[in-house]
Structure 1
Amino acid sequence: MAEQRGRPTIWDVAELAGVSIATVSRYMNGTQAVSKAASNAIAQAMAQLDYVPNANVRSIKLGQTRTVGIIVPDISNFFQARVCRRVEHLLYQKRYSLVIASTGNNTEKERSCIHNFLERRVDGLLVSSAGQNNDLLGRAAKGGLPLVLFESYQPELPDLDYVLEDSYGHACRLTRSLLERGHRRISFLKGFEHSTVSEARFAGFCDTLCAAGLAPDPALIWEGCRDRADCVRVFEALRREPGLFTAVAATTPEQMKFLVMEANRQGVRIPQDVSLTGFGIEDYTALFPFSATCVVSDPLANADALVELILRRMDEVRTGKPPAPAEKRIIPCQFFTGNSVACVTP
């Protein structure tokens, strides 16, 4: 064998294995059957040479990159992190790689992430979008890219697949549960600015109050509560003005976690001093020093639906099958009634 220079090539593999370059190509691409003896010889040669196929060249030949992109607003968000981890696991079983992008709810960064995935020629794309880049997503879908949106529905893109929860309806139910226990001064924590999920939950809160003859108090609405420092303000306000509110409704599982941490630090008793409810994840609520009254989302069920839909769409593109009608999957959540909400006299 000729002396090697630089990285080993497919020619080096073929020479060491004693087969043709075409046979090595068929082995790596899986386009045609290769005898067991030739397969073993090629595998041994690749291992001996530490040969890594050029993924870019291979993807051009096959028309596939075997990669799927996922775009989320905040990878530190526990729900979204769990979704990504489950999606990666399921795609790995199907021999796909997952590439993750986190936008920080920044519209321009989200647009850049979409462009980057299009340039990478990903086989499919999963997006949790605030809705500011629907023009680009719509063009990508019309161009044939398998695309599934999740968390928030975009009316401008009705012909795409969605994986959603009933954010509005669940917020209505949470608010009713507080009203039924006598709460009228309810503090509400909103999430990321431009988050359609946060806005849907806030709309459910406001509409339920209005249906009960009440109006949301702007002084009790907390904008952009993203981290623990934002949640500190809530209980500090209650300490400055006892009775300012009797209950807190959180929009996200992170807010629930931060509020519990701050309650412990500031000596606020739940539910004796203030009641707490919101949207949680079982992994969080199981660690609370009380049983939480909350809506519990299921990130695994969301991920399972995402992978099922994107695999189906990628298979349609790969095989030339006519596309099935778009689906809107509504993932059910569980409503738990715990002891984090006390009864009060209106």
Structure 2
Amino acid sequence: MPITIKDVALRAGVSTTTVSHVLNKTRFVAAKTQEKVYKAADDLHYAPSAVARSLKVKTTKSLGMLVTTTLSPFYAELINYVEKHCYDEGYNLILCNTDGDSEKILSYLRMLSQKRVDGILVMCTEYNDSLSTSLAEKRDLPITVMDWGPTDAYLDRIQDNSAKGAHIATQYLIDQGHTEIAYIGGPLEKIPSQHRLEGFQDAMAQAGLNIRPEWVIESDFECEGGKIGMRKLMSLEKRPSAVFVGNDMMAMGAMSEAQSAGVKIPEQLSIIGYDNISNSAYFSPPLTTVNQPKERLAKLAISTLIERLTNPRQTGKTMMLEPNLVVRSSVAKNDPQ
């Protein structure tokens, strides 16, 4: 049988109310009595019920996080930072890997609300009406949406500014003398894919450069997606001199496919990625990429949730992170013959 607060009270020779006040620090209790209670609890190896305590103090010191995948290095690094900042602030993290499945997203949202978490972080690239409705139903719970999402006034949103990051990447290729630039991106139903394609198109248009339709390839955000995209480019009679790839994992696959076809990077083909995952510095050659400030994103998300818990408000706010370029060795200057 589990040890209860009644057992502690009996052992200490005090009432259950006194034990509760001592353990929860909800009222002054004489030092001698406190000592008796603590000793009785230690002797009996009493562990207070987190659920019962949460009902009294109306907080669980737990946060939930919905994330598209835990396999991607970008998400893995981000989750690591989120967990670190949760721990630093005295919170536990309940992580839910949705695998991009709408039903799992809704199921996890119900579970997290039933577990009485204090707030929820949402970082899912899949956005649809059912998810928007489900989030609206939980509007009494602090929710911070990371990287994407609806514009509903009650939500706090942190955006990575993918369109600007893609513009920066494309402009760097243009500044290096490239005019024939291809784009390999993720699925266009995903918000980041849409924004990165828009940033690429805007930079090309501002430079007065044409975009060949066959050089804009929709794939997926994994290594294999990059390989497939590059294979399509390699099969064309007219090839680009540079490629902007929608994330670093795809860039890894694209580089591997190009090199397997005998193409030298960056001498014959320049490649730039997006995300600045930690491994990108160790690609061969090291990848020039756009940095998403993952630790700042994590810290801002946690601090925003906690701030809303401390000072409840009905309206949300939108915060924008600024991407920046990380120059390495995968892009070369293009000298037209």
TM-score by length of 2: 0.87
Question: 2: CA distance between counterparts of 1:71 and 1:23?
Answer: 40
Question: Quick check: 1:251–1:278 contact (8 Å CA) kept in 2?
Answer: yes
Q: Which residue of 2 aligns with 1:186?
A: 181
Indicate the percent of aligned positions where both proteins have the same amino acid: 26
Give the SS at the match of 2:322: coil
Gap regions ≥5 residues in structure 2: none
Q: Which residue of 2 aligns with 1:343?
A: 333
Q: Which residue of 2 aligns with 1:95?
A: 90
1:264 CA displacement: 5.9
Question: Quick check: 1:256–1:280 contact (8 Å CA) kept in 2?
Answer: no
Q: Provide closer, same or farther for how the CA distance between residues 240 and 49 of structure 1 changes in structure 2, counting only shifts above 3 A.
A: same
Residue 131 (1) aligns with residue 121 (2): no
Question: Quick check: 1:249–1:276 contact (8 Å CA) kept in 2?
Answer: yes
Q: Provide closer, same or farther for how the CA distance between residues 273 and 298 of structure 1 changes in structure 2, counting only shifts above 3 A.
A: same
Give the SS at the match of 1:101: strand
Residue 284 (1) aligns with residue 274 (2): no
Give the SS at the match of 1:189: strand
Q: Which residue of 2 aligns with 1:231?
A: 226
Question: Quick check: 2:248–2:277 contact (8 Å CA) kept in 1?
Answer: no
Q: Provide closer, same or farther for how the CA distance between residues 32 and 221 of structure 1 changes in structure 2, counting only shifts above 3 A.
A: farther
1:27 CA displacement: 2.9
Q: Which residue of 2 aligns with 1:78?
A: 73
Matches within 5 A, 1:163-202: 163-192=158-187, 194-202=189-197
The letter of the residue matching 1:195 is K
Write the deviation string for residues 40-87 of structure 1: whole angstroms up to 9, x where unpaired: 443443343333322222222222222111111122222322222222
Q: Which residue of 1 aligns with 2:150?
A: 154
1:138 CA displacement: 2.2
Question: Quick check: 1:257–1:284 contact (8 Å CA) kept in 2?
Answer: no
Question: 2: CA distance between counterparts of 1:40 and 1:257?
Answer: 61
The letter of the residue matching 2:132 is N
Q: Provide closer, same or farther for how the CA distance between residues 238 and 17 of structure 1 changes in structure 2, counting only shifts above 3 A.
A: same
Question: Quick check: 1:105–1:192 contact (8 Å CA) kept in 2?
Answer: no
The letter of the residue matching 2:8 is V
Q: Which residue of 2 aligns with 1:320?
A: none
Question: Quick check: 1:105–1:194 contact (8 Å CA) kept in 2?
Answer: no
Question: 1: CA distance between counterparts of 2:242 and 2:30?
Answer: 70
1:97 CA displacement: 1.2
Residue 273 (1) aligns with residue 268 (2): yes
Question: 1: CA distance between counterparts of 2:200 and 2:123?
Answer: 23
Could you list the structure 1 runs, at least 4 aligned residues long, displaced by more than 6 angstroms after superposition: none
The letter of the residue matching 1:150 is M
Q: Provide closer, same or farther for how the CA distance between residues 258 and 239 of structure 1 changes in structure 2, counting only shifts above 3 A.
A: closer
Question: 2: CA distance between counterparts of 1:16 and 1:277?
Answer: 68
1:192 CA displacement: 4.6
Give the SS at the match of 1:65: coil
Q: Cα RMSD between the aligned structures?
A: 2.7
Write the deviation string for residues 195-225 of structure 1: whole angstroms up to 9, x where unpaired: 2112111111123333444454343333232
The letter of the residue matching 1:140 is K
Matches within 5 A, 1:320-331: 323=313, 326-331=316-321
Question: 1: CA distance between counterparts of 2:28 and 2:90?
Answer: 19
Q: Which residue of 1 aligns with 2:138?
A: 140
Q: Which residue of 1 aligns with 2:22?
A: 27
Question: 2: CA distance between counterparts of 1:256 and 1:232?
Answer: 8
Question: Quick check: 2:64–2:119 contact (8 Å CA) kept in 1?
Answer: yes
Question: 2: CA distance between counterparts of 1:216 and 1:118?
Answer: 47
1:266 CA displacement: 5.8
Q: Which residue of 2 aligns with 1:333?
A: 323
The letter of the residue matching 2:293 is D
Q: Provide closer, same or farther for how the CA distance between residues 214 and 77 of structure 1 changes in structure 2, counting only shifts above 3 A.
A: same
TM-score by length of 1: 0.85
1:302 CA displacement: 0.5
Q: Provide closer, same or farther for how the CA distance between residues 243 and 218 of structure 1 changes in structure 2, counting only shifts above 3 A.
A: closer
Give the SS at the match of 2:99: coil
Question: 1: CA distance between counterparts of 2:305 and 2:180?
Answer: 44
Deviating more after overlay: 205-214 vs 165-174: 205-214
Q: Provide closer, same or farther for how the CA distance between residues 31 and 78 of structure 1 changes in structure 2, counting only shifts above 3 A.
A: farther
Q: Provide closer, same or farther for how the CA distance between residues 200 and 148 of structure 1 changes in structure 2, counting only shifts above 3 A.
A: same
1:36 CA displacement: 4.3
Q: Provide closer, same or farther for how the CA distance between residues 39 and 281 of structure 1 changes in structure 2, counting only shifts above 3 A.
A: farther
1:325 CA displacement: 5.7
Write the deviation string for residues 237-288 of structure 1: whole angstroms up to 9, x where unpaired: 4554575232221222322344445556665432023211121326223223
